[in-house]
Amino acid sequence: MSDERLSRRTLLAATTALFGLVGTADARTVTGLPYLGNEVYPPPEARPGPWLFFTADEGAAIEAIVDRLIPTDDLGPGGKEAGCAIFIDRQLAGPYGRNEGMYMQGPFPANPLPTQGYQNQLTFAEQYRRGLAGLTAHVARNFGNRKPHQLSAEEMDRLLTSMEKREANSPEFNGSALFDLIHNNTMEGFFADPIYGGNKDMMGWKLIGFPGTRYDYREVFDKLNTRYNRPPVSLLGRPEWNKAGGRT
Amino acid sequence: MRRLPRKDAVIVGLGWTGAIMGHELCQAGLQVVALERGPWRDTASDFNIGTAPDELRYGIRNDLFVRPSQDCVTARNTMDQVALPIRRWGSFLPGNGVGGAGIHWNGHTWRFLPSDFNIRSHYLERYGEGIFPENHMIQDWGISYDELEPYYDKFEYLCGISGTAGNVNGQIQPGGNPFEGWRQRGYPTPPLRMQHAQNMFTKAATELGFKPFPLPSANLSQAYTNPLGVTQGPCTYCGFCERFGCANYSKSSAQTTILPVLMRHPGFEARVQCEVVRVLKSGDGKTATGVVYVDETGEEWEQPADLVILAAYQLWNVRLMLYSGIGRPYDPNSGEGVVGKNYAYQANSAVNGFFDNQLFNSWAGAGSLGITADEYNGDNFDHTGLNFVGGANINCTTFHARPISARPIPPGTPRWGSAWKKATRDNYLTTQNIGSQGSNMSYRDCYLDLDPTYKDRLGRPLLRMTFDFKPNEERMSAYVTSKMEPIMRAMGAKQIVSNPKKGPWSVVPYQTTHNTGGAIMGDNPRTSAVNKYLQVWDMPNVFVMGASAFPQNAGYNPTGTVGALTYHAADAITKQYLKNPGQPLVQA
Ligand SMILES: Cc1cc2nc3c(=O)[nH]c(=O)nc-3n(C[C@H](O)[C@H](O)[C@H](O)COP(=O)(O)OP(=O)(O)OC[C@H]3O[C@@H](n4cnc5c(N)ncnc54)[C@H](O)[C@@H]3O)c2cc1C
Ligand code: SF4
């Protein structure tokens, strides 16, 4: 989102008609209050459809994983149905996957302190690509030459537990790092606005009782400590509104 | 490099302090240009209800903050470690673009306690030298609360702060903070409405002997028109406040209080996406002659000016001074030098309470919706035998329940699977915390300098931060946190999890964007970089705004004090300095 946003801003700043002045330095000069109607740069809506980043096997592996991290159970649907894999795919195909905006200059030391945070030379997209290749090899070795998405739910839970607990780590496969990455992005997908491809029909929000982007909650203060019953709203509105033909 | 026509004043950064200064200088008749490294931003174009409440974009992917690829900081805990770049922001979130961090702040708007300003002499007199921690650099500010009071008032009335006064001209007021310094009048607007959690906290804390009061808030309880004629609307408790722009014109910021007037002022212009890379000096090094900036195409420009105002935020003020050779850089080995010295932060803590049968509905909240108690802040309590300096305010706030980041589950719950899912659902609406905002003293080995290895996109060294929480702060935090637990118990939590502040400081979890020090104020050029008017001792036509001036940090958020110091400086510039430009306002 940032690339696009910045370049549009630059364009805007260079539009002399809006800013009233000429010359290179002055092209960035702002006087008065330049108001542009509807200039809010909504994020492009992620829609279901073919993978943009994942290969077919990678996508199948991620779908199988997100569906165990957030399983379908008596509380409702799980990560796959929520679109978490679509979410991750679209994120990796975009600025997030390229670590855009992050400081990515070296040197990258071998042993940073835990207090020094992210020090990975690879982009998130590269971490997925390599991590999933490592996972595929690990599964083939340990689960009878099968692919990750061919594991039963129970086997997948065992695999994920071993990754989380660092028991699957080897020089070729940093299972715990891959687990943390997928876990983090799956939760993002399940709870982010549905405009990004996950949290389909706001199912993540409905599960916990988050009413979304309503923006005005003054009425809540009249009835504290009571359940709020209005259905959630997202940046895309609500499915009901769309069915009524209000939006496409 | 191309040279532009001279201006009376150039302001580096158009955030909170840059906007205030811009307006005051233009009112005094100066021709002013503000240079801002980030984009133009305004409410109508950039913070719209259809896009603003987007947690992933703004809360997680950090869309409003400066991108580390543009400007970043390296960090380490101790002087013998190798500092590494903060490749993505975590612990703090520096602003970018017109409005600066004021766009996406919470709006807690505090005055520091009178004794915070003379902390060194105050503690010395009351407790003796023995109370000060090892290697401390605690200093008095060189300004008193009484001197600052009119300027606190001015900033609060600019913003329309919502709150309940505790001390009007020495008269203690019911429902306010009995420990606060005197104020000449009440807050401009009444406090925000309180949520269920604040009501429970107020009851519990009052029964335990505290005197809780509403947190002074820059999220306004009602419509307000400020002395500049700019109107704000009432806050709707949208829950997308900290890290987000407000779509309602309800959160005080440069956008909602000053820019509508300033941008139309004939004496003012702003240039956006123009990053100042250094301050230019005269041949004898005694005056600044202007600044050099780089536009977004990479072209360099020289902007000559008689007066240079650094208003780039604490971190970038210090970095610009170090690059430009303004003031003597601090040397932690000898203790000599002043620029980069006394970097401090904020020692916060939290007590989480998991409840049955309470619905907090915390998604209905505002950046500074809360109740506070000040019994254990500053020197409001007897420190005899406690073995630490400082304190913390205790607060119960409801500012959001955005679900990517705020899904509390009791410790020991699995991170995934059906058990996680159930715990997440069961605890989401029924968890509340009590927080503390703690002071942070200054130390000889907590400082800022230039990194020897890592460079920014223009090839200039990054700012290097050497910082850790010290035993003094850990003891303070443990003590104050132990006072929070009984309140949580009295509120009826079934399970309580305490997190007092402990070192080592990590760059990863968000803590606060309350970075302080590095260009500190004081009464002596040997121990401070700027005088009480924020004027550089060694270069009288340069003034440095912001929390970089704090000699150490108090148990409150900084911006009330930052705003007051800015108005105080502006008053001195327009009433005294301009009569005698280029002269120091305080004799060294
Ligand atoms: C998430 C968050 C929550 C906060 N909550 C609170 C709160 O509740 N209460 C409180 O008191 N404070 C809070 N703060 C802190 C508050 O925002 C700052 O104290 C305040 O904005 C500081 O004002 P400033 O003018 O010093 O810096 P800013 O407002 O950040 O403005 C500095 C400007 O300078 C620009 N700049 C920097 N370097 C250059 C350069 N070289 N050239 C050109 N331009 C440059 C920046 O892009 C920026 O726009 C919060 C901050 C954050 C990030
Ligand atoms: S909580 Fe209030 S002040 Fe903050 S963004 Fe929402 S409406 Fe604005």
The domain that holds B321 is classified in CATH as 3.50.50.60
Find out whether the peptide bond into A34 is cis, omega within 30 degrees of 0: no
Name the residue with tokens 């000898």: B334
Cross-strand partners of B466: B76, B447
Closest CA to B471 of B460, B461, B463, B479: B479
Distance CA A93, CA B323 (A): 38
Instruction: Tell whether A159 is covered by a domain.
Output: yes
Q: For residues B342 and B467, is the Cβ–Cβ distance under 8 A?
A: no
**Tally of CA atoms within 13 A in the half-sphere of A85 that contains its CB:** 25
Instruction: Tell whether B588 is covered by a domain.
Output: no
Q: How confident is the model at residue A30 (pLDDT cuts 50, 70, 90)?
A: confident
Q: How confident is the model at residue A37 (pLDDT cuts 50, 70, 90)?
A: low
Q: How confident is the model at residue A8 (pLDDT cuts 50, 70, 90)?
A: very low
Lowest mean per-residue pLDDT among A20-24, B153-157, B206-210, B352-356 = A20-24
Average the pLDDT over A61-75 and give the result: 98
- Quote the pLDDT of residue A23: 41
Query: Phi/psi zone of residue A188: left (φ > 0), alpha (ψ -120 to 50 degrees), beta?
Result: alpha
Considering only the beta carbons, identify the residue of B84, B193, B272 that sits closest to A221.
Answer: B193
Residue A4 has pLDDT above 80, yes or no: no
Which chain B residue has the Cα nearest residue A183?
B416
Average the pLDDT over A31-37 and give the result: 67
Beta carbons within 8 Å of B282's beta carbon, 6+ residues apart: B288, B289
Phi first, then psi, for residue B265 (nearest 5°) are: -70, 130
- pLDDT tens for B59-81 read 999 999 999 999 999 999 999 99
- Quote the pLDDT of residue B45: 86
- Quote the pLDDT of residue A16: 33
- Quote the pLDDT of residue A27: 60
Residue A21 has pLDDT above 60, yes or no: no
- Quote the pLDDT of residue A109: 95
Looking from the CA of residue B19, the nearest atom of ligand 1 is 25
Cross-strand partners of B339: B329
Quick one: A175 and A94 in the same domain? Answer: yes
Asked if B247 lies within 8 A of A207 by C-beta distance, the reply is: no
Interchain CB contact of A224 with B (< 8 Å): yes
Asked if B76 lies within 8 A of A116 by C-beta distance, the reply is: yes
Average the pLDDT over B220-242 and give the result: 98
Quick one: A134 and A194 in the same domain? Answer: yes
CA distances from B33 to B143, B166, B273 (A): 29, 40, 13
Distance from CA of A170 to the nearest CA of B (A): 23
In chain B, the largest separation of any two C-alpha atoms, in whole Å, equals 72
Mean pLDDT, chain B, whole residue set? 97
Instruction: Tell whether A17 is covered by a domain.
Output: no
Evaluate: CB of B219 within 6 angstroms of ligand 2: yes
* H, E, C per residue of B94-115: CCCCCCHHHCCCCCECCCCCHH
Residue B579 has pLDDT above 90, yes or no: yes
Quick one: A138 and A239 in the same domain? Answer: no
Instruction: Tell whether A42 is covered by a domain.
Output: no
Residues 375-414 of B with CB under 8 A from A: 401-404, 407
Average the pLDDT over B82-105 and give the result: 98
Instruction: Tell whether A152 is covered by a domain.
Output: yes
Quick one: A182 and A233 in the same domain? Answer: no
Average the pLDDT over B101-106 and give the result: 98
- Quote the pLDDT of residue B382: 98
Closest CA to B424 of A205, A194, A68: A205
State both tokens at B467.
């910082």
Quick one: A193 and A217 in the same domain? Answer: no
Average the pLDDT over B459-470 and give the result: 98
- Quote the pLDDT of residue A244: 55
Instruction: Tell whether B79 is covered by a domain.
Output: yes
Find out whether the peptide bond into A239 is cis, omega within 30 degrees of 0: no
Cross-strand partners of B349: B436
Distance (angstroms) between ligand 2 centre and the Cα of B107 equals: 10
Name the residue with tokens 């301050």: B279
Q: How many independent structural domains does chain A possess?
A: 2
- Quote the pLDDT of residue A160: 98
Residues 336-365 of B with CB under 8 A from A: 358-361, 363-364
Instruction: Tell whether A41 is covered by a domain.
Output: no
Asked if A42 lies within 8 A of B50 by C-beta distance, the reply is: yes
Residue count of chain A = 248
Evaluate: CB of B275 within 6 angstroms of ligand 1: yes
Identity of residue A58: E
Quick one: A138 and A241 in the same domain? Answer: no
Mean pLDDT, chain A, whole residue set? 88
Interchain CB contact of A153 with B (< 8 Å): no
CA distances from B257 to B171, B222, B273, B303 (A): 30, 15, 22, 27
Instruction: Tell whether B562 is covered by a domain.
Output: yes
Evaluate: CB of B106 within 6 angstroms of ligand 1: yes
Residue A207 has pLDDT above 60, yes or no: yes
Assign A237 to helix, strand or coil.
Answer: strand
Quick one: A171 and A87 in the same domain? Answer: yes
Name the residue with tokens 């090839």: B459
Which residues in chain A are contacts of B363 at CB distance < 8 A?
210-211, 217
Q: For residues B20 and B258, is the Cβ–Cβ distance under 8 A?
A: yes
- Quote the pLDDT of residue A33: 72
Asked if B269 lies within 8 A of A213 by C-beta distance, the reply is: no
Which residue lies with its CA nearest to atom 1 of ligand 2?
B366
Quick one: A98 and A197 in the same domain? Answer: yes
Most B CBs within 10 A among A124, A178, A215, A222, hence the mutation to make, goes to A215
Distance (angstroms) between ligand 2 centre and the Cα of A232 equals: 18
- Quote the pLDDT of residue A241: 82
Instruction: Tell whether B586 is covered by a domain.
Output: no
Q: How many independent structural domains does chain B possess?
A: 1
Average the pLDDT over A101-120 and give the result: 96
Instruction: Tell whether B584 is covered by a domain.
Output: no
Beta carbons within 8 Å of B382's beta carbon, 6+ residues apart: none
Asked if A215 lies within 8 A of B236 by C-beta distance, the reply is: yes
Asked if A6 lies within 8 A of B39 by C-beta distance, the reply is: yes
Burial class (CB in 10 A: 0-12, 13-18, 19+), B544: buried
Interchain CB contact of B151 with A (< 8 Å): no
As a whole-number percent, the residues of chain B with pLDDT over 70 amount to 100
Verify whether residue B514 is a known catalytic residue: yes
Average the pLDDT over B327-339 and give the result: 97
In which element (H, E) is residue B215 found? none
Instruction: Tell whether A144 is covered by a domain.
Output: yes
- Taking the alpha carbons at both ends of chain A, their separation in whole angstroms is 22
Which residues in chain A are contacts of B404 at CB distance < 8 A?
187-188, 191-192
- Quote the pLDDT of residue A243: 67
Which residues in chain B are contacts of A34 at CB distance < 8 A?
40, 42, 45
Q: How confident is the model at residue A36 (pLDDT cuts 50, 70, 90)?
A: low
- Quote the pLDDT of residue B588: 83
Catalytic residue of the set B23, B104, B383, B514: B514
Distance from CA of B116 to the nearest CA of A (A): 30
- Quote the pLDDT of residue A20: 35
- Quote the pLDDT of residue B416: 98
Q: How confident is the model at residue A28 (pLDDT cuts 50, 70, 90)?
A: confident
Distance (angstroms) between ligand 2 centre and the Cα of B256 equals: 12
As a whole-number percent, the residues of chain B with pLDDT over 90 amount to 99
- pLDDT tens for B490-509 read 999 999 999 999 999 999 99
Evaluate: CB of B33 within 6 angstroms of ligand 1: no
Average the pLDDT over B200-223 and give the result: 98
Quick one: A178 and A228 in the same domain? Answer: no
Instruction: Tell whether A8 is covered by a domain.
Output: no
Q: pTM for the full model?
A: 0.96
Looking from the CA of residue B17, the nearest atom of ligand 1 is 25
Specify the DSSP class assigned to residue A188.
Answer: H
Distance from CA of A162 to the nearest CA of B (A): 13
Quick one: A247 and A224 in the same domain? Answer: yes
Lowest mean per-residue pLDDT among A181-195, B34-48, B403-417 = B34-48
Q: For residues B311 and B15, is the Cβ–Cβ distance under 8 A?
A: yes
Asked if B40 lies within 8 A of A102 by C-beta distance, the reply is: no
Instruction: Tell whether B587 is covered by a domain.
Output: no
Closest CA to B553 of B442, B443, B476, B470: B442
Looking from the CA of residue B244, the nearest atom of ligand 2 is 5
Distance CA B55, CA B60 (A): 6
Average the pLDDT over B215-243 and give the result: 98
Q: For residues B14 and B23, is the Cβ–Cβ distance under 8 A?
A: no
Instruction: Tell whether B417 is covered by a domain.
Output: yes
Instruction: Tell whether A30 is covered by a domain.
Output: no
Q: How confident is the model at residue A40 (pLDDT cuts 50, 70, 90)?
A: low
Q: A244: domain range?
A: 211-248
Which residue lies with its CA nearest to atom 52 of ligand 1?
B105
Quick one: A157 and A225 in the same domain? Answer: no
Residue B527 has pLDDT above 60, yes or no: yes
Interchain CB contact of A107 with B (< 8 Å): yes
Residue A246 has pLDDT above 50, yes or no: no
- pLDDT tens for B313-322 read 999 999 999 9
Looking from the CA of residue B245, the nearest atom of ligand 2 is 5
Quick one: A183 and A61 in the same domain? Answer: yes
Phi first, then psi, for residue A53 (nearest 5°) are: -115, -50
- Quote the pLDDT of residue B204: 98
Evaluate: CB of B46 within 6 angstroms of ligand 1: no
Q: How confident is the model at residue A31 (pLDDT cuts 50, 70, 90)?
A: confident
Residue A59 has pLDDT above 60, yes or no: yes
- Quote the pLDDT of residue B380: 98
- pLDDT tens for B127-161 read 999 999 999 999 999 999 999 999 999 999 999 99
Interchain CB contact of A35 with B (< 8 Å): yes
Asked if B55 lies within 8 A of A73 by C-beta distance, the reply is: no
Q: How confident is the model at residue A26 (pLDDT cuts 50, 70, 90)?
A: low
CA distances from A62 to A23, A45, B115 (A): 52, 21, 57
